[in-house]
Structure 1
């Protein structure tokens, strides 16, 4: 595996750095640093999206023929890493990185022409309707039904989706529904795009342990969905879901962001008294803990670069993405725990007022880093659940990577 950057890649890296230095708004950067949630809040995310869209860099993972940059896998990695190192917020992943690849890979020409530009412009804000109250890790057991009308023009959808991130902000939802209950459960699932602003759709908030309103339960009661809002054929939903989840688990590089956040924890430790006349950063046990996590982050980066090398050769990322998801989830929790421990009692404050940035944010105790630490730690408990639990990822690795 050759991971040395070419002169052209180094020049591209410098271009990205210069752009970020000149165009990443400070209020967006500050808002991202004060956000405990996994998914960036729309006011921050959409602001940053507009900046990148004007530059032509928003759809950096898309093929050029569909409005993307056409960047190589190495360029995409460089961009993600430099954004992480600059403290930029995550992009609005649900539209840009999850449903968009499904649309431009499997959608009709009409679907591509309608939805892809609206994702880039921000006109459509998406949520994902996969999990149900009785169907989480066993997603194929979902029960939300879609019944085709007699004239074949539309479906009527009835059921419930849960843990639906940002459904309270979204005007569109991509979802899995059961269109045939007489066949094998995976074969009876279809992939629909649902307009959230219509009769029969209701959203109930779910507050997390941290007090964040990030997820919801969505109720669908005879919701009308035109048949042209189905992606691919009836019964293809499971195939599309596997394609989408592979992108979710391995479509981004997690290590740079983890490394950046670990750097911030080390800065915090330099300002914390160890009670013996020194700083926490000088404590031997603390340094051992940080070094362990640092080495694991570096190991994850090597795995991500290996996958990147395979993608650069035209090969699919494959089941190794489950390994990245598993490692990144555990490391996310490790880094957030280090931050709470470094801040001591100040890191235990848990304001439930949101957002923790802007003029109306509650006053912090000992700084914004301390204010967000406990909320971020609690929020990151979800990492080992969403996108497939650690147990699911371990099963995939055992079966498809190790051949057990």
Structure 2
């Protein structure tokens, strides 16, 4: 059906944008049909490219609902002509003044076109057979003409949103690691922790803002650099003994699970000798799991506490072919939790360990002489994991 209404009703003048929109509506459609609701979903994702708001799209959804078919087809009547009262009812009582504003935004964006009657009313005339002869209202054909372009914009927008979610996840993990490493490092060595904490706080504050992908990529690099700076400040093996260390060690020994192997380790550690102080006892559990994520595959449930860590180590020990005596010696010499952390790190590198039992015995002998700490293994794995930004 050809339409002759090329000028707007009332005082609204003809503009270049209006003529361009009408030319677009008269152009051949690249595809002869499109699912109207799928098209609306794509347009919702791509609304930024067209400069329309969610309220504008709510009005467009109401307009589309007046089209009787599920698809917009190039050979069918694509003009809808609801009254203001009907349109308001389908937009949940939106006032007419607000409706006019959103309709104008949709027309300006080139998504719909107004086909005005001589008196500005919306209506349709029918022929003798009952078929529509002419309709005046809002033409949906611009949507069909631009369906492919809208879908392309939607794919771009969805990919950008997915990338931004990934960037935010990566930044959050880096900042969490930085926070825990700073908390741990303050108790290990003297360094510029206040300055690093200030940088961390500033990044956390910026992350709360609505940032685009470019800003998030820069922030991801900065967060990675911050973690690298902190990691480089911490020596591979920190050996610092104090009364607090002894208290922490005794506390960790008392938190062993109530199992036969745990009790044996506790009795050996209490009756034979106190384990050597290992700064690994103060490593946050989250960092241990960050360094040795494969451990979670052997846990009966989520690893949340030192007790869960030790439970998992007891389950893992026979799977690695480590005998009970070797394990008990490790618990006695290193302490139960450092021994469990050592086992977790061994699991992460098991492909490079020919004899896990002999390897653990060697580490126990070195720990007895003060030449080994599980902290060193954790830091080595963290450094290896950070060889490239997440």
User: TM-score scaled by structure 2?
Assistant: 0.24
Quick one: higher RCO (CA 8 Å, sep 6+), 1 or 2? 1
TM-score (norm: length of structure 1): 0.24
Q: Higher strand proportion, which one? A: 1
Instruction: Point out the structure with the larger helix share.
Output: 2
Give the structure with higher Rg (CA).
Answer: 2
